[in-house]
Amino acid sequence: MERYEKKMVAQGLVETGAPLMAELETQMIWNRKDPGNRVLADVFTALNINSLCFSQPAEPFRTIVDFLASENDRITLKDNETRLFLHDLPVVRKFDANLIAAQLRRRKAVIIAGHGIVTHGTVTIEQCFVTFSSVLFSCFVKFFTDFLEHVKAGRISSAERTAFQTAVARLAPAPESGTPLQTGPFGSKSQVYQAISAAGKPIVAYGLVDSVMGNISYRYGDTLYISQTGSFLDELEGCIDPCPLDNSSCTGITASTELPAHMRIVTETAHRAVLHGHPKFAVIMSLICDHTGCEFEGQCHTKCPEPRLVQDIEIVPGESGAGPHALCNTVPEALKTRNGVIVYGHGVFTADHRDFNRPFCHLVEIENLCREAYFKRLQKAGVTP
């Protein structure tokens, strides 16, 4: 519990001392005493779970979540995390065990309006952290996407404008790309492992990925070394899989779900080093579309037919993993002529033929470019934070 509370604080998700956590072993263990323990203990009784986390988010997430919860009984979102893991976010109006348990039977998290977020795990408390982080990521993306859409439609309420101004005033500074990484190309397996592990740390530290939603790979000889699925990018030691390019080994079973895309990138382009992160404003700008009445509305993440750019950065459709609509069919093609590409509602892939220095710089640059593009759109519409 202490480990994941520290992660949540370090990533700016919560304030120090805010999370209330519990794990069920031979008995229920709490990270601290709190009046809410009694209510949450009843949630344990009602569900088949072994861990739970309840916390108010830190700013600007608190303002964002409070606003969304005040406007909705169920928050629907369009980003990739939501499609894959969250589906939607239920909201209850009272800190009540029965209300919380009823929602957690069908969803990974529940928002208690004005109080915070409850997440649970059925295997380890790591699940609580991953879900909590994903909830805040998805709420952030929805809030800023909705605000721009509402500005375009001319229907901004005073409450939404106030929440927006508060959230913007409390945004973390734009990331900078000054962290030097190991210089390649690499001449041994050990160097590859070290380089991948080193590259993951600033991606997390700079807020370019949420929870475990990102991956890294490097081609060395006839093997692709890639981060394992569900691994933390800032803790990759021992969590990197060697996957032969000829698929002669089953190590890919535990590799990142984006293994098919990484494989095609390093075999069909000149790139050897690949980074995939989920920077927030890149995801937000990928969701902004000026076309109306499109026949593929609601299927944008798989079938968007329109060439779309943020300046010169291409936005492509594609789902995680493999299949006819997978991003492994769109991202490698885009990276044949570019060093970076945005996937609709998902994140950014960057790559280079040498090492991770340029991909990391590109990841930061694309996020900053998208952040600037977002606020420029608001300025053109006559809205200033």
In the predicted model, what is the mean pLDDT of residues 241-260?
84
* pLDDT tens digits along 266-306: 999 999 999 999 999 999 999 987 766 676 666 666 666 67
| Helix residue spans in 88-245 (DSSP H) | 97-104, 126-153, 158-169, 189-205
In a domain, 176, yes or no: no
Q: Which of 169, 200, 233 is the last residue of a domain?
A: 169
What confidence score (pLDDT) does residue 26 get?
84
219 and 324 in a common domain: yes
10 and 157 in a common domain: yes
* pLDDT tens digits along 44-61: 989 999 999 999 999 999
Q: Pick 177 or 361 by higher pLDDT.
A: 361
Taking Cα atoms as reference points, which of 93, 343, 338, 89 lies closest to residue 214? 343
In a domain, 88, yes or no: yes
Distance CA 138, CA 216 (A): 22
Rg from Cα positions in the chain: 21
Q: Which of 135, 169, 203 is the last residue of a domain?
A: 169
* pLDDT tens digits along 199-247: 999 999 999 998 767 899 999 999 999 999 889 999 999 999 999 998 8
Average pLDDT, the chain: 91
In a domain, 368, yes or no: yes
355 and 236 in a common domain: yes
Burial 159-183 (b: 16+ CB within 10 A, else e): ebeebbebbbeeeeeebebebebbe
Which domain does 52 fall in, by range?
2-169
217 and 102 in a common domain: no
In a domain, 182, yes or no: no
Q: What is the CATH number of the domain that holds 9?
A: 3.40.225.10
83 and 30 in a common domain: yes
Number of domains the chain is built from: 2
Distance CA 190, CA 197 (A): 11
In a domain, 174, yes or no: no
In degrees rounded to 5, what are phi and psi of residue 70? -70, -20
Residue 77, pLDDT > 80, answer: no
15 and 153 in a common domain: yes
Distance CA 334, CA 67 (A): 37
Q: What is the 3-state secondary structure (H, E, C) of 195-236?
A: HHHHHHHHHHHCCCCCCCCCEEEEEECCEEEEEECCCCCCCC
In a domain, 139, yes or no: yes
In a domain, 180, yes or no: no
* pLDDT tens digits along 140-164: 999 999 999 999 889 899 999 999 9
207 and 339 in a common domain: yes
Q: What is the pTM of this model?
A: 0.94
* pLDDT tens digits along 315-327: 998 887 777 778 9
What confidence score (pLDDT) does residue 313 get?
94
In a domain, 277, yes or no: yes
DSSP 3-state of 306: coil
What confidence score (pLDDT) does residue 86 get?
72
E strand or H helix that includes residue 281? helix 280-287
